């Protein structure tokens, strides 16, 4: 049956290995530190707005161009609404950028290891994924990225899964050297010290992506924003789905932007816990990269950490393991509450002896 079904799809899709998200088991209650979700709830304003929308508006289609959300985002971040596109999570925006900009055979460039969804999106388009390896300290390999000069270049900043950041000045240097589009994926930037958003106004080939999944505690709503020149955003709008955000997502995101103080308090708590957890992991003998995200990459060189990940799961603690040559010695650990991180450390310590 499977072989018969394959004849209906393109050869490139038949050969595709789809994106593998972090596991979401339901068999027991876990300390869940594997998918970079925010451990704290969204703003009460968000809850109120969603409840009102459920009562009044679910029979109606959502605004297809997210007018009020883009207006509010423009007010908060200093952009005209015409420079903003809203998506069903930033993953949706990544997909439509590749759809709009990369034809079959076009080169899409990004450093590795990074967000693995890029590979899937490029393969769907039958484009060419050009990987540039990060050095051990995860500094951005600017010279190699410039030399490849892709139709699209992705820079995840802070990078996933390392949590490391590239200075905005370095990203601007890269943008000015590229002839193609530079997409700065800032899913975790609210946990960092600087943003590349100002580059959008200075470099017409820069698009910056944001998500509400991490700092705003709205992963279940799937909301993303893209910032670019009005001309680029106009082109991207041509390939987006007709109603790509639900009414609930639109009102939730708008309400979240009206209560930035709530988000910022939670970010401060996570950053404080991140620093403490990093030190505790180092004390256990792990190498910990300096993270500016809501997760930490912890390494034990020479050891395959898959067995540690599985042992932690047996004890009710989920962390992320990547079975790839450059990450087998590492675990990516979401920064949870202080209590969740303590549970992780208690379970982890005897496994490292």
DSSP string, 263-277: HHHHHHHHHHHHHHH
pLDDT at residue 17, as a whole number: 80
Average pLDDT over every residue of 95-121? 98
Name the CATH architecture for the domain at 44-259.
Answer: 3-Layer(aba) Sandwich (3.40)
Q: Give residues with Cβ within 8 angstroms of 55, minimum separation 6.
A: none
Residue written as tokens 């393969």?
Answer: 123
pLDDT 10s digits, 177-228? 999 999 999 999 999 999 999 999 999 999 999 999 999 999 999 999 999 9
Strand order in the sheet with 107-112: 84-87, 224-227, 206-211, 181-185, 152-156, 107-112, 128-133
pLDDT exceeds cutoff 80 at 20: no
Question: What pLDDT is attached to residue 52?
Answer: 92
The domain ranges of the chain are 12-41+261-352, 44-259
Section 58-78 average pLDDT: 97
Answer yes or no: same fold for 12-41+261-352 and 44-259: no
* pLDDT (tens digit per residue) in 313-344: 999 999 999 999 999 999 999 999 999 999 99
Q: Mean pLDDT score of the chain, rounded to an integer?
A: 96
Span 139-155, pLDDT tens digits = 999 999 999 999 999 99
Strands 317-318 and 107-112: unpaired
Is the confidence at residue 1, as pLDDT, over 60? no
What's the confidence (pLDDT) of residue 15?
Answer: 83
State pLDDT tens for residues 286-310.
Answer: 999 999 999 999 999 999 999 999 9
Cα(157)–Cα(228) distance, rounded to whole angstroms?
16
In three-state form (DSSP H/G/I as H, E/B as E, the rest C), the secondary structure along 40-53 is: CCCCHHHHHHHHHH
What's the predicted TM-score (pTM) here? 0.95
Split at pLDDT 50, 70, 90, the class of 3 is low
Residue 338 phi, psi (nearest 5): -60, -40
CATH 3.90.1150.10 fits 12-41+261-352, yes or no: yes
- Judging by DSSP bridges, how do beta strands 287-288 and 317-318 pair with one another? unpaired
Contacts of 83 (CB under 8 A, 6+ apart): 74, 200, 227, 228, 229, 230, 233
Average pLDDT over residues 37-55: 96
The predicted structure's pLDDT at residue 186: 99
Q: What is the mean pLDDT of residues 112-121?
A: 97
């Amino acid at each position: 049956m499977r072989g018969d079904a394959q004849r209906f799809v393109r050869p490139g899709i038949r050969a595709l290995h789809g994106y593998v998200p972090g596991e979401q088991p339901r068999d027991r209650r876990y300390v869940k530190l594997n998918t970079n979700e925010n451990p704290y709830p969204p703003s009460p304003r968000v809850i109120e707005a969603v409840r009102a929308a459920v009562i009044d508006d679910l029979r109606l289609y959502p605004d297809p161009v997210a007018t009020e959300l883009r207006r509010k985002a423009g007010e908060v971040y200093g952009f005209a609404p015409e420079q903003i596109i809203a998506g069903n999570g930033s993953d949706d925006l990544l997909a439509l950028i590749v759809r709009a900009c990369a034809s079959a055979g076009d080169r899409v460039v990004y450093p590795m290891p990074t967000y693995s969804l890029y590979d899937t999106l490029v393969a769907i388009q039958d484009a060419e994924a050009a990987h540039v390896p990060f050095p051990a300290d995860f500094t951005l390999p600017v010279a190699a990225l410039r030399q490849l000069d892709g139709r699209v270049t992705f820079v995840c900043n802070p990078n996933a899964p390392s949590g490391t950041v590239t200075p905005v000045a370095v990203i601007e240097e890269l943008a000015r050297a590229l002839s193609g589009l530079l997409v700065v994926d800032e899913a975790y930037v609210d946990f960092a010290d600087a943003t590349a958003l100002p580059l959008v106004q200075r470099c017409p080939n820069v698009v910056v992506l944001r998500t509400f999944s991490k700092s705003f505690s709205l992963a279940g709503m799937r909301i993303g924003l893209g910032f670019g020149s009005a001309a680029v955003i106009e082109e991207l709008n041509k390939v987006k789905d007709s109603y790509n955000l639900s009414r609930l997502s639109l009102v939730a995101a708008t309400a979240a932007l009206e209560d930035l103080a709530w988000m910022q308090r939670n970010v401060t708590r996570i950053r404080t816990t991140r620093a403490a957890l990093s030190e505790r992991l180092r004390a256990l003998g792990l190498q910990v990269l300096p993270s500016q995200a809501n997760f930490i990459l912890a390494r034990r060189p020479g050891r395959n950490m898959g067995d540690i990940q599985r042992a932690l799961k047996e004890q009710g603690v989920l962390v992320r393991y990547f079975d790839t040559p450059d990450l087998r010695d590492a675990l990516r650990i979401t920064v949870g509450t202080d209590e969740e991180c303590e549970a992780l450390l208690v379970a982890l310590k005897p496994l490292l002896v």
